[in-house]
Structure 1
C-alpha cells in the first residue's frame, strides 16, 4: 500500500519524506579524433554510390598528392641547396685552414727571427761585459788606476771628481764588474757603469761599445801602460773589498783603551795600517789571503762579529826582513796584548780568529815553511783552554817536522788580553801603594 506522505515544517520550507529518486545522467560521447573522422568520411565517400561525392573526393586526393609531390620537390631542392652550401662552407674552411697554416708558418718564421735577434743582442751584451776590460774603458773616461791600493783581484780607480770605483772579474761568468766606494747603489757591469753616469738608453750604449768589440785591434782607447791582469774573484769578495775601502786606519780607539791596549802599542810601526774603524765606530781587523782582503773582524763594547759574505783568512801585523820570531794567537787583540807584554822588534804576529779552517791551514803551512827556511822560530800563543790546546796541536802538525816551535800560554788567565788587563791592574795597585807610602814618609 502506498505510504501516506508526511511533511515537515522547516520554517518557510516544507520537506517531503517521500523516497527520493536517483538521477543518472546519460554519459556524453567523447568527440572522435579529427583525423579518424576524416578517414571515416573518406571511407564512407568511397563506399557511397554518390558519383559527385566520389569525384570530389578523387579531386581532393589528386590535389593532396600534387601538394605532396610539390613538397617533396621543394624539400629536394632545399636539400640540394643545403648540400651546395655545405660544400661551399667546406671549401671555405679548407681555404681558411690553408691560409691559417701559411700564417702560422709565417708567424713561426717571424718568431724565429725575433729569437735569433734577441739571442744576438744578448750575445752582444755578453761580449760587452766579457771582452771589454772595464778598467780600460774607465781610464778612457777620465779614471786612473791606484796601483798602491789595487790587488790581483781588484783594481782601484779614481777620477778627478772624487769618484772611486773598484773593478773585478767575476769568476762564475767572466764578466768585468765594478762597484763605487762612494755609492753602494752604483755597481754592476760596464753597461751599468755607462748608464749610471749618462742619461742614455740601451741602444745608445750599444752604439758606444760596438767599436770596442768590432775592432779590438783599433780600440778607441789604448792605455799608456798595460792594465794589470785581474784574477777572477767572487762578487762577495768584491763587496768585502768595496766595504774595506770605506774604512779608516786608526792608531787608537776607546775599545782598545778599555781593553788595556795603549796608544804606544796600537801606533807601533808593527801595527800601523792593520787596525781600522767603520762608520759605526767599530774596530776592524782585516783578514787576508794570498789574493788580498777576504773578510774582517768587528769588535766593540759587548760586540763581536765577522763580515757577512767574507771568509776567514789571517790577520797579520806588518813584517820585516829581520823578523826571527812568528807568534800565532787566536785574536788580533791577543797579538796586541802579547806585544805590549813582551815587546820585540823582530817578532811578527798572526791571528786566526778562532778555530782553523782548511783555507787557513793552507795559508799557515806556507807561512811556516817560509819562516822555517829563513831559520825563524814559531811561537804558539793560543788560549789557555781546551780549544786553544786543540789549535796548538793543529798548528804543530802544519809546521815542518824539524821546525823550532814552542807553546806559550797565560799561566793564570784564559788569554793574553786577560793577562794584560790583570798585569795593568796589578801595576796600578802597586803604584797606589807606592803613592800612599810616599805620602806617609812626608
Structure 2
C-alpha cells in the first residue's frame, strides 16, 4: 500500500476540498455520518462520509460509477494521472483554509454506507400518492419545514421514512398499501422531525404516519416529533431517553399512541423512560381501537375535530 496515497485519503478533509472546488453543504439533508454536497454551478450532488478505515469517501447520487476517495474524485473530474494527483495534493494540503465545510463526520460501516447511498437517491416528496390518497395526509403537512427531508419516495412510489440515531442515518421504513418493510442493510432506530431550540413539546408516536397525522389534527409550531416504527427495541429506549433529556425540564411530552391496550402499554413504557423529566400525557384518539391516522381520516370525513 502506498503510504502517501493512504495519507491523502485519511488526512485531507474531503468536504473542505470539495468546498474549494465549488461545492456547498446542503445542511437540511446532511447528518453526522453523511454530508450532502451540491455544486454551485451544476446539479452534481455528492454524499461524503468516512469508512471504518477512517478514509474520507464520497459517492454521487447521479452517477453510480462516480465514487471513492479524494484520489477518485480528482481523477473522475480532471482525468488526471496518479502522478499529477500526487503533486496537486502535496501542494494543496494545509495551504487552502476554507470555512464552509465540516470538521469531521462519524465513520460508518459498509452496510450503512449502502443505506445512505440508496436513501439519497430517493427524492424528497410532499406529494406521495400513498400518503395523500390512502392516508389523507395533506401536501401542506408533508411539505412543512418541520418534516423536510424526512419523507422520501422510492422508484415503486413507496413512502420512505429515514431512521436516525446520534450518529446519523441508520436505515429506513418503507410503507405502501398493505406493505410495510425496512431497509435490509439498516437498523431500526427513530424517525425524527427537525428540531428548534424554541420547541416546548415532544410528540412520540408508534409510526411516522401517526406522528404526521397528529400534527395535522393538532397543529403546533413548537413541537418536535418522533416515531419508533412499532414495538420498542432496547436501543430505541436509550434514544428516546436522550430525546426527552434534550427537551427543557418540565416541557410537554405527548404520547400520540393508539386508543387500545397496546397503546396503553407503550404509554406506560414512556412514563418509565421519562423519569419525571417532562410533563407527560397520553393524547389518544377519542374512539377505542383508533389510531391517529384513522382519527385524521375521520376528521376529514366529517369536517371537524370531535
TM range (shorter): 0.7 to 0.9
Aligned residues: 298
SS of 1:260 mapped into structure 2: coil
Aligned residue in 2 for 1:164: 45
SS of 2:267 mapped into structure 1: helix
TM-score, normalised with respect to structure 2: 0.81
Distance in 1, Cα, partners of 2:139 & 2:297: 15
Whether the aligned pair in 2 keeps the contact of 1:329 and 1:382 (CA below 8 Å) is yes
SS of 1:288 mapped into structure 2: strand
Gaps of 5+ in 2: none
Runs of 4+ that moved beyond 6 A: none
1 or 2, which has the higher helix percentage? 1
Aligned residue in 1 for 2:93: 219
After superposition, where does 1:242-257 map in structure 2 within 5 Å?
242-257=117-132
1:224–1:381: structure 2 CA closer, same or farther, 3 Å change rule? closer
After superposition, where does 1:421-432 map in structure 2 within 5 Å?
421-425=297-301, 427=302
Q: Is it true that 1:262 corresponds to 2:138 in the alignment?
A: yes
Give the counterpart of 1:314 among 190, 196, 206. Answer: 190
Distance in 1, Cα, partners of 2:221 & 2:149: 17
1:394–1:157: structure 2 CA closer, same or farther, 3 Å change rule? same
Q: Is it true that 1:176 corresponds to 2:61 in the alignment?
A: no
1:236–1:229: structure 2 CA closer, same or farther, 3 Å change rule? farther
Distance in 1, Cα, partners of 2:142 & 2:106: 34
Aligned residue in 2 for 1:230: 104
Aligned residue in 2 for 1:380: 255
1:417 CA drift (Å): 1.7
Residue-by-residue CA offset, 1:64-116 (whole Å, 9 max, x unaligned): xxxxxxxxxxxxxxxxxxxxxxxxxxxxxxxxxxxxxxxxxxxxxxxxxxxxx
Aligned residue in 2 for 1:191: 71
After superposition, where does 1:347-386 map in structure 2 within 5 Å?
347-373=223-249, 375-386=250-261
SS of 2:231 mapped into structure 1: coil
Give the counterpart of 1:146 among 25, 29, 32. Answer: 25
1:386 CA drift (Å): 4.9
1:169–1:422: structure 2 CA closer, same or farther, 3 Å change rule? same
1:232–1:253: structure 2 CA closer, same or farther, 3 Å change rule? closer
Distance in 1, Cα, partners of 2:73 & 2:183: 26
Distance in 2, Cα, partners of 1:147 & 1:177: 17
Residue-by-residue CA offset, 1:310-334 (whole Å, 9 max, x unaligned): 2233223344455433221011111
Aligned residue in 2 for 1:439: none
Distance in 2, Cα, partners of 1:265 & 1:178: 33
SS of 1:285 mapped into structure 2: strand
1:198 CA drift (Å): 5.1
SS of 1:156 mapped into structure 2: strand
1:335 CA drift (Å): 1.3
TM-score, normalised with respect to structure 1: 0.58
Greater CA drift, 351-360 or 401-410: 401-410
Aligned residue in 1 for 2:207: 331
1 or 2, which has the higher strand percentage? 2
Gaps of 5+ in 1: 1-120, 429-442
1:418 CA drift (Å): 2.6
Whether the aligned pair in 1 keeps the contact of 2:25 and 2:101 (CA below 8 Å) is no
Q: Is it true that 1:419 corresponds to 2:286 in the alignment?
A: no
Distance in 2, Cα, partners of 1:344 & 1:138: 38
Aligned residue in 1 for 2:281: 406
1:222 CA drift (Å): 1.4
1:227 CA drift (Å): 4.0
How large is the RMSD of aligned CA atoms in angstroms?
A: 3.1
Question: RCO higher in 1 or 2 (8 Å CA, sep ≥ 6)?
Answer: 2
SS of 2:163 mapped into structure 1: strand
Residue-by-residue CA offset, 1:220-275 (whole Å, 9 max, x unaligned): 85144374222332133333333333333333332122212234443445445433
Whether the aligned pair in 1 keeps the contact of 2:19 and 2:98 (CA below 8 Å) is no
1:272–1:165: structure 2 CA closer, same or farther, 3 Å change rule? closer
Give the counterpart of 1:277 among 149, 153, 178. Answer: 153
SS of 2:246 mapped into structure 1: helix
1:283 CA drift (Å): 1.7
SS of 1:249 mapped into structure 2: coil
